Every structure is written in structure tokens, then in C-alpha cells.
């Protein structure tokens, strides 16, 4: 089992990566928590596959386990679910000696993390991500959040977990579309890092190649993100680089209203921001196509869906990266050479307008 250690100003914790890690979960949890109550927060998709093995492992290690299940999907990142989960913790008499274990994808991790961060001003949190997207992205770094009608992740906190346990075996139950979605975030990280990490992507020529390569891809992504988080826990500087592709991606995800998954929207964002900066003479023209080739190899979308630029700009006005009336964009000079560029909010309509001169997709992808 590979261990990546994260040390920030607020917390030190380990990220454990290994096939079969779920079977060792009880012993791993005992390394950071004394036996007590554990709320396993999961969703309706993950529960049938992994809830019982996790409960069995935790009970064998001496923990009292409560399974709290939410509906699968982004809609669960809501005030209503936060209230429901916190009410269940309170009724079960959870104290600061007890903890929350997030078992699922990014939605579960964000929601359960926010609940752990706010109940009694903070109780123990362990992340056990079961989707590729969550394993390489949202489970590492301490971001927790819920959504508002005006945008994603607008209410949240930075709250580091006590432990992250990543078992690549959980990816075997994912549909191909969700594997590809997580790969979109891997391409983002690899493009930011370049070098050997970018080279790891070259053999991935279709979605079926992701699973056997997953342990190496996960380890490389997590090591990179851990390094960024340790340097900039609260996204004041270098951590902003992780938003590459997200300025456009988050807006498209919200406006697509369920037609685009997060990693799909980010994939479009990666390509389109690279095209946009090329149009403004700040990035090489061929870079967007280099990134697009890696994404389209696994079936990820790269073209803008048929959503009006005015709608996208309106959502961008709620972007968390706006400081002093300017929105900070992340782009690449070349693979492995990221840069930050602030653009005044007042100039956003004209700044993004060139993208809408390019061909668009009539609709977002359908489930497959």
C-alpha cells in the first residue's frame, strides 16, 4: 500500500492508496480514531456495493456504525441534506469524540465533509472515495461544500480529513462514463505537471485502458495535489492552478442542468480555455488540440455545448476566483507550464466572445 503524507498548518494526515484497502479499513481507521461512533455517509449508488463491507470492517475494529444514505447526484449537495444529516448525528448523540466517514464520490465527500466541519464546530472526518474523480481530486485537500442555485460549491469550508483511504478496486463497479469523467481531472493534473506524468497518459487510447493504469494515475495525481495543498492550503496562490479548466467548466456544468458530469464539463473547459488564450495570443495554438486528443481518446467532450455566452458569463460573475473585480484564469504556456491571468469582470463578455465563433455540440453527452 502506497502512503502519501500531507502536512498543512492545520493538520497532518496520510493518504493510503492500494488495491484491497477496503478490507483493511477497520485497522486503518483505528490508527487515527479511538473506537466510538462512526457515521458512514454514502449514496444510493454506492450503498449496495460497499456499505456492508465497510460496516463489517468497522464493527470488527470496535466501532459503532450508523449508515446515512443520501440520493445519488449533485442535488444532494444542499442545505436540506446538511440539515437532515446533522439532525441524525444529533439524535444519535454524536460528540466530538465521534466521526464521519465519507464513502462515495465527490458529492458524498463534499457533503459529508461539510457536515463534519460544521457539526459541533468540527468532528473527525475520513474520506473513502469510490469514484475515480473523487480519488484523484475532491477527497484530497480539505475542500468541503454544498451548492446554491447560483453556482457550485458557494457554501463550504476548508476542513482537512484525518485519513484518506483509496482502493482502486472500487473502480470496477463504475460505468465507463464515470471512469472517463475522472480521467478528465487526471488529464488536467498531468497537463499542469508535464514530464513523466504527462507521459503516463500516452498509452490511454480508450476508456478500457484507464482501469489497469488507475493505480499509477491515482498516485501521480494525488502526489501532485498533495504538494499543492501543502504549499497553499487555503487557495491564496499556487492552489489556484488546480482550477485549470474549471472557470468555464463549472459554468457549463451548472447550465447543462445534469447533461454534463463534472469531469466532462472540466474536459470542455480545459480545451476551450486553451483555445481562448491562443485566440488572445497568449498560448500556442496547437496546445488545445494536444489536450483535446488525450480527452477525446476516452470519449470525453471537448466542444462547447449549445449554451449562450451571456449565460456562461452570468454564472462566471459568481465564481469564487473573483478578487478585486477581476477573475483569475489558469492557462498553459506549454504542457507543464501553467500561468495565472486576471481578467477584469467588466471585460468578461468581450474576453470570452471569440469562443462562440467556434463549432458547438448540439447537446451534451447522454448516459452510456
Is 121 an annotated catalytic residue? yes
Q: Which one from 153, 243, 264, 321 is the annotated catalytic residue?
A: 243
Does the annotation list 131 as a binding residue? yes
Does the annotation list 109 as a binding residue? yes
Does the annotation list 108 as a binding residue? yes
Does the annotation list 43 as a binding residue? no
Is 11 an annotated catalytic residue? no
Is 59 an annotated catalytic residue? no
Please give the Cα distance from 352 to 256 (Å, whole number).
18
Q: Which one from 16, 47, 188, 246 is the annotated catalytic residue?
A: 246
Does the annotation list 152 as a binding residue? yes
Does the annotation list 360 as a binding residue? no
Q: For the residues of 4-16, what is the DSSP string, one character each?
A: EEEE-SS-EEEEE
| Count of other CB atoms within 10 angstroms of residue 24 | 16
DSSP 3-state helix, strand, coil percentages of the chain (rounded to 5)?
50, 20, 30
Is 143 an annotated catalytic residue? yes
Q: Which one from 74, 181, 185, 233 is the annotated catalytic residue?
A: 185
Does the annotation list 339 as a binding residue? no
Is 303 an annotated catalytic residue? no
Does the annotation list 330 as a binding residue? no
Q: Which one from 93, 121, 324, 368 is the annotated catalytic residue?
A: 121
Please give the Cα distance from 208 to 190 (Å, whole number).
19
Does the annotation list 106 as a binding residue? yes
Is 275 an annotated catalytic residue? no
* Helix-then-strand count for the chain, H and E: 13, 14
- 4 CB-near residues (< 8 Å, 6+ apart): 14, 15, 17, 219, 222, 223, 226
Classified as helix, coil or strand, 35 is coil
Pairs from 89-95 (Cβ < 8 Å, separation ≥ 24): 89/39, 89/115, 89/119, 90/119, 92/37, 92/39, 92/66, 93/37, 94/37, 94/39, 94/119, 94/120, 94/123, 95/37, 95/120, 95/123
Please give the Cα distance from 274 to 239 (Å, whole number).
19
Does the annotation list 171 as a binding residue? yes
Does the annotation list 340 as a binding residue? no
b/e burial code for range 241-254 (CB count within 10 A of at least 16 → b): bbbbbbbbbbbbbb
Is 318 an annotated catalytic residue? no
Please give the Cα distance from 98 to 124 (Å, whole number).
6
Q: Which one from 225, 275, 294, 321 is the annotated catalytic residue?
A: 225
Q: Which one from 16, 177, 239, 321 is the annotated catalytic residue?
A: 239
Q: Which one from 77, 143, 188, 294 is the annotated catalytic residue?
A: 143
Q: Which one from 16, 177, 250, 321 is the annotated catalytic residue?
A: 250
Q: Which one from 181, 233, 235, 264 is the annotated catalytic residue?
A: 235
Does the annotation list 222 as a binding residue? no
Q: Which one from 47, 262, 294, 321 is the annotated catalytic residue?
A: 262
Is 239 an annotated catalytic residue? yes
Does the annotation list 95 as a binding residue? no
Does the annotation list 8 as a binding residue? no
User: Nearest to residue 165, comparing CAs of 262, 32, 59?
Assistant: 32
- 246 CB-near residues (< 8 Å, 6+ apart): 266, 269, 330
Please give the Cα distance from 274 to 271 (Å, whole number).
5
Q: Binding site for NAD(+): residue ranges?
A: 106-110, 130-131, 143, 152, 170-173
Q: Which residues carry out catalysis?
A: 121, 143, 185, 225, 235, 239, 243, 246, 250, 262
Q: Binding site: residue ranges?
A: 106-110, 130-131, 143, 152, 170-173, 185, 246, 262
Q: Binding site for Zn(2+): residue ranges?
A: 185, 246, 262
Amino acid at each position: 500500500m502506497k502512503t502519501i503524507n500531507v502536512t498543512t498548518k492545520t493538520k497532518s494526515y496520510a493518504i493510503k492508496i492500494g488495491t484491497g484497502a477496503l478490507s483493511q479499513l477497520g485497522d486503518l481507521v483505528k490508527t487515527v480514531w479511538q473506537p466510538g461512533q462512526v457515521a458512514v455517509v454514502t449514496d444510493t449508488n454506492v450503498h449496495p456495493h460497499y456499505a456492508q463491507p465497510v460496516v463489517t470492517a468497522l464493527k470488527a475494529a470496535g466501532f459503532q456504525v450508523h449508515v446515512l444514505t443520501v440520493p445519488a447526484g449533485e442535488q444532494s449537495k444542499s442545505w436540506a441534506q446538511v440539515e437532515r444529516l446533522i439532525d441524525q448525528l444529533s439524535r444519535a448523540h454524536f460528540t466530538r469524540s465521534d466521526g464521519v466517514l465519507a464513502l462515495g464520490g465527490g458529492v458524498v465527500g463534499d457533503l459529508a465533509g461539510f457536515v463534519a466541519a460544521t457539526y459541533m464546530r468540527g468532528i473527525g472526518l475520513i474520506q473513502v472515495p469510490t469514484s475515480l474523480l473523487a480519488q484523484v481530486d475532491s477527497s484530497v485537500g480539505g475542500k468541503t461544500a454544498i451548492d446554491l442555485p447560483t453556482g457550485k460549491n458557494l457554501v463550504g469550508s476548508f476542513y482537512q480529513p484525518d485519513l484518506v483511504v483509496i482502493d482502486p478496486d472500487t473502480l470496477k463497479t463504475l460505468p465507463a462514463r464515470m471512469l472517463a469523467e475522472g480521467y478528465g481531472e487526471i488529464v488536467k493534473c498531468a497537463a499542469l505537471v508535464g514530464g513523466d506524468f504527462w507521459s503516463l497518459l500516452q498509452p490511454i487510447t480508450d476508456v478500457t485502458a484507464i482501469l489497469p493504469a488507475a493505480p499509477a494515475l491515482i498516485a501521480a495525481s494525488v502526489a501532485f495535489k498533495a504538494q499543492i495543498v501543502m504549499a497553499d492550503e487555503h487557495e491564496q496562490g499556487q492552489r489556484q492552478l488546480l482550477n485549470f479548466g474549471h472557470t468555464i467548466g463549472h459554468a457549463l456544468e451548472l447550465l447543462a442542468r445534469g447533461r454534463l458530469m463534472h469531469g466532462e464539463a472540466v474536459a470542455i473547459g480545459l480545451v476551450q480555455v486553451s483555445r481562448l488564450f491562443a485566440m488572445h495570443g497568449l498560448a500556442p495554438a496547437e496546445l488545445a488540440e494536444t489536450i483535446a486528443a488525450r480527452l477525446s481518446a476516452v470519449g470525453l467532450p471537448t466542444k462547447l455545448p449549445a449554451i449562450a455566452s451571456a449565460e456562461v458569463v452570468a454564472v462566471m460573475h459568481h465564481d469564487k476566483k473573483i478578487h478585486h473585480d477581476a477573475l483569475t484564469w489558469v492557462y498553459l504556456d506549454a504542457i507543464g507550464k501553467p500561468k495565472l491571468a486576471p481578467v477584469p469582470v467588466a471585460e468578461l463578455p468581450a474576453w470570452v466572445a471569440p469562443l462562440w465563433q467556434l463549432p458547438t455540440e448540439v447537446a451534451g453527452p447522454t448516459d452510456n
